[in-house]
Amino acid sequence: MCIFCKIAGGEIPAQFLYESAKVVAFRDLDPQAPVHILVIPRDHFENAAELAAADSATISELFTAARELATSEGLDGYRIAFNTGASAGQSVFHAHLHLLGGRAFAWPPG
């Protein structure tokens, strides 16, 4: 079972900042901004593309979680990212939304 399946299933303890029927959210182990939260589907999908092909209800809950967490964390601007594929920086192959905020971000991203 993958590491995010273990976190979602409670096998690896994590403090959830948000929970709904289809998603959970917790802080990134190696934060890249003052606020760096991961929102993940409870079910396993390899990446955002596989999730998009399979389950639009879960995608909706991922974005609802991100919006509510941005508000509860007091973010006025923030960045949402789905690294999809190793060449784009994906290192955990269980789909996840990165919610980043609390500092300015450059564009284009590195």
3-state secondary structure the chain: CCHHHHHHCCCCCCCCCEECCCEEEEECCCCCCCEEEEEEECCCCCCHHHHHHHCHHHHHHHHHHHHHHHHHCCCCCEEEECCCCHHHCCCCCCCCEEEEECCCCCCCCC
Q: Which stretch binds ligand 5GP (CB under 6 A): 16-24, 61-69, 83-91, 102-110?
A: 83-91
Minimum distance of Zn ion from residue 101's CB (angstroms) = 25
How many residues touch ligand 5GP under the rule CB under 6 A: the total is 12
**Which listed residue (20, 46, 92, 102) binds ligand 5GP by CB under 6 A?**
92
Active site residue 36: no
Q: Between residue 21 and residue 60, which ones bind ligand 5GP under the rule CB under 6 A? A: 26-30, 38
Cite the active site residues: 96
